[in-house]
Chain A
Amino acid sequence: MGAVAAGSAAAVRARGLSPLVAAGACVFLLAALAIGVVVGPVELGLGGVLESAAARLRLPGATTPLSPTEEAILWEIRVPRVVLAALVGAMLALAGATYQGVFRNPLADPYLLGVAAGAGLGATLAIAYLPDGLRGQRALPAAAFVGGLVAVLLTYAVGRSARRERDAATLVLAGVTVAAFFTAWQTFVQQQNAETLQQVYAWILGNIPSTGWGDVLLVLPYVAVAAAVVLALRRVVDVLTLGDEEAASLGVHVGRVRLALVVAATLGTAAAVAVTGLIGFVGIIVPHAIRLLTGVGYRALLPLSMLVGAGFLVLADVAARSLLAPAEIPLGVVTAFLGAPFFAIVLRSTRVGP
């Protein structure tokens, strides 16, 4: 028996990140980053960008071929914008995949528990009522962030007050309830302040701001913490797909684990949404596309979602700012407009169920 066990133990592996798939995702992300940095109204060229980067890293013998203006465009505008798009894309895809696992619901997206509605209300209130001076750079994201968190806290409170077993379905219903309420409130405020309609609408459709490193530093800590928590728990997400009761009978504290995962994903999402507005579709399409193409479980899906989500949003942002340049297309429009046909192709060409 021992020999049999030892002999076949090698075959008993959970499919983690296969090197090939991981390498493919990394190449996709790197290519997207390169395109994001190179494409823009001022042609910089990949060679020039790389040399400039080498000079910045003080590599021996490296000097930048770019003019001071080009240097500033590259490092103060384009690179931070690309990094921000990557962070937000990684966060939204990770949060979507996490919610899908935790709630065992393939249609779950990062906005499931009301983050979007709450952030939307917060942003609308800020746009409608804050004096112009205060509204500036920081007040809008802060209001959206707080609104998003308040909505999710309310969702939890409503879910808990339902005195049934605190199962995942109750929480999702509570999220729908809270989102409906906040959305109605937001619509009302919007109607009362019709002159702000366009500004609110632009925020809701999402965009990556070209505001330098400030927004990157704002989002980064939340994304880092969210990613650390979710990736550390990624094996348990696979256990949760068996359902609360079976996960509990395998020794998992289902309530605690779910709370930790939801808090992490929600904080990260709220921070991303606060800076970029509501970018739809990434959180659903990216995890599903990976699942359909590779068939992997959550332990591999979660890190892959981050890589692919980052690359996808960088490319979507390139399209958003260059297709109708100098005008920008709202990012939420691009993600759905490019994402939907791509996803339709994936759906058609695969047979593996989610």
Chain B
Amino acid sequence: MTAIALRGVTVALGGRTVVEGVDAAVASGEWLALIGPNGAGKTTLLRAIAGLVPFEGEIELDGRSVRLLGRGELARLLALVPQEPSTPPWMTVAEYVLLGRTPHLGILAAEGRRDREAAAEALARLDLVGYEGRRLATLSGGEKQRAVVARALAQEARIVLLDEPTASLDIGHGQQALELLDALRLESGLTLVAAMHDLTLAAQYADRMLLLDGGRLVAEGRPEDVLTAERIAARYEAAVEVVQVGGSVAVVPRRGARASASDAADAGV
């Protein structure tokens, strides 16, 4: 079943076309990685799917056009974890995770028992039991990231969009975060769409990849098919080797053979 369908999605921001004519489908329960160099349009595409920027074309979630979904309805179907979420320092972890219940509450309502249970379950699954009363200001980067994911889980949406979920995490915490997301996906049948810069991690966790460049979809498929040294050289202007490591491909940067002639000149090669 198709969780997300994109047809000819075009987004213009401030008169500049940032995403152009993207067609893609994400199957229910799938992990899709959005990759591409800085400015490729990954974040903008995620924001369009989340209904936060106007777009042309069609975006459907579970077969329903996002244009016809109300704000609350959309937020019950889909949760967005931004790259730099705001974490008000005075807020406690419990309060923060409970904010995820907003789309399930009337505008004037307070959280009920059902909401507290959903938040408690999200906290338990992110190993944050005992953190309920801690202020966000006192959390480490990794703990904060878990609180943000817990808030998204408390939203009880079947689709979770993640913008650079490992950007602020070290290699260990990044790995743990992705393992956790994968486990949550398998347990609850979540559909994950994650914009990712680390191509090796993306290859290890994603079922499929979309490679964006200049707002256009330039490659699509399984990680081992999308990630070739030539393509990465062309799109990222990076010199890399793609190697097989434990059943997955890894992208390893290489020195001394810059892809771009001007860079090579700068480097004095």
Contact = CB atoms under 8 A, between A and B. Distances in A.
A20 interface: no
A297 B117 contact: no
B232 to A, nearest CB: 31
Interface string A49-68: 00000000000000000000
Given A245-B82, A250-B102, A251-B102, A9 B90 contact: no
Contacts of B92: 14-15
Given A8-B124, A15-B92, A291-B90, A238 B132 contact: no
Interface stretch (B108-116, B202-210, B258-266): B108-116
Interface string B109-136: 1110100111111011000010011010
Given A249-B79, A297-B91, A8 B99 contact: no
Given A239-B102, A242-B88, A251-B74, A12 B97 contact: yes
B68 interface: no
A253 B94 CA distance: 23
B109 to A, nearest CB: 8
Nearest to B87: A242
B71 A252 contact: yes
B117 A242 contact: no
B103 interface: yes
Interface in B35-64: 47, 50-52
A8 B90 contact: no
Contacts of A11: 94, 120, 132-133
Contacts of B110: 16, 235
Interface in A1-60: 1, 4-16
B102 A15 contact: no
B6 interface: no
Interface in A71-117: none
B23 interface: no
A257 B99 contact: no
Given A9-B117, A12-B123, A243-B86, A251 B103 contact: yes
A128 interface: no
A338 interface: no
A232 B108 contact: yes
A127 to B, nearest CB: 42
Interface string A227-269: 0000011011011011101101111110001000000000000
A233 B120 contact: no
Given A5-B124, A12-B119, A252 B82 contact: no
Nearest to B118: A5
A13 B94 contact: yes
Contacts of A14: 92, 94-95, 98, 111
Contact of B82 (A232, A246, A291): A246
A221 interface: no
B222 interface: no
B107 A257 contact: yes
Given A239-B99, A352-B90, A250 B116 contact: no
B88 A241 contact: yes
Contact of A353 (B51, B118, B124, B137): B137
Contacts of A233: 107-108
A295 interface: yes
Contact of B124 (A1, A15, A236): A1
A136 interface: no
Given A14-B94, A238-B95, A246-B86, A5 B137 contact: no
Contacts of A5: 117-118, 120-121, 124
B4 interface: no
Given A235-B110, A251-B75, A353-B89, A15 B95 contact: yes
A247 to B, nearest CB: 8
Contacts of B90: 291, 295-297, 352-354
B189 interface: no
Contact of A242 (B71, B99, B116, B129): B99
Nearest to B85: A246
Most A CB within 10 A of own CB, among B89, B118, B120, B123: B120
B71 A253 contact: yes
Contacts of A245: 47, 52, 82
A206 B91 CA distance: 36
Contacts of A9: 113, 116-117, 119-120
Contacts of A291: 90
A250 B155 contact: yes
A134 B106 CA distance: 48
A1 B122 CA distance: 10
A297 B118 CA distance: 21
Contact of A4 (B119, B124, B132): B124
Contact of A12 (B47, B50, B71, B132): B132
Nearest to A295: B90
Nearest to B151: A250
22 contacts: A6-B120, A9-B119, A11-B120, A11-B132, A12-B120, A13-B116, A16-B110, A233-B107, A235-B105, A238-B91, A239-B99, A239-B102, A242-B85, A242-B86, A242-B99, A246-B82, A246-B85, A248-B52, A249-B75, A250-B99, A250-B155, A251-B71
Interface of A: 1, 4-16, 232-233, 235-236, 238-239, 241-243, 245-246, 248-253, 257, 291, 295-297, 352-354
Given A5-B117, A250-B155, 20 more contacts: A1-B124, A4-B129, A5-B118, A5-B121, A5-B124, A8-B124, A8-B132, A12-B116, A14-B95, A15-B95, A242-B88, A248-B51, A249-B80, A250-B100, A250-B103, A251-B71, A251-B73, A295-B135, A297-B95, A352-B90
